Amino acid sequence: MALLEIRDLKVSYGFITALKGINIDVEQGQIVALLGANGAGKTTTLRTISGVIKPQAGTITLDGKEVQGKSTYKVSKEGVMQSPEGRLLFPELTVEENLKVGAYGIKTKKEKVVDENGVEKIVKVTAAQQIKTNFERVYNLFPVLAERKKQTANTLSGGEQQMVAIGRALMSNPKVLLLDEPSLGLAPLVIEEIFEAFKKIREEGTTILIVEQNALQTLKIADYAYVLELGVIGMQGPADELIKDERLVEAYLGGNKKNA
Q: How far apart are CA 213 and CA 211, in angstroms?
A: 7
Supply the pLDDT for residue 255. 42
Rounded CA-CA distance 125/186 in Å is 38
Q: What is the structure's pLDDT at 237? A: 94
Q: Tell me whether residue 115 is exposed, middle or buried, using C-beta atoms within 10 angstroms of its C-beta: 0 to 12, 13 to 18, 19 or more.
A: exposed
**DSSP assignment letter at 94:** B
Q: Give the pLDDT of residue 104.
A: 82
CA 86, CA 182: separation in Å to the nearest integer?
A: 8
91: phi then psi, degrees, rounded to nearest 5: -60, -30
Determine the Cα–Cα distance for residues 240 and 225; give it in Å rounded to an integer.
Answer: 9
- Rounded to two decimals, the pTM is 0.89
- Cα separation, 229 vs 39, in Å, equals 9
CB atoms within 10 A of CB 19: 27
pLDDT tens sequence across 92-121: 999 999 999 988 878 887 777 777 777 887
Segment (H or E) for 6: strand 4-13
d(CA 246, CA 252): 10
The Cα 65–Cα 226 span in angstroms is 23
Q: Quickly list DSSP for 118-163.
A: S-EEEEEE-HHHHHHHHHHHHHHH-HHHHHTTTSBGGGS-HHHHHH
The pLDDT tens digits of the residues spanning 115-167 come to 777 788 788 888 899 899 999 999 999 999 999 999 999 999 999 999 999 99
Answer whether 124's CB lies under 8 Å from 193's CB: no
**What is the longest distance spanned by two Cα atoms in the chain?**
64
- Rounded to whole angstroms, the Cα distance separating 46 from 41 reads 9
Q: CB 135: neighbour CB atoms within 10 A?
A: 19
Q: Which residues of the chain have pLDDT under 50?
A: 255-260
What domains can be seen in the chain, in order of their start residue?
Answer: 1-79+174-260 (3.40.50.300), 93-172 (no CATH)
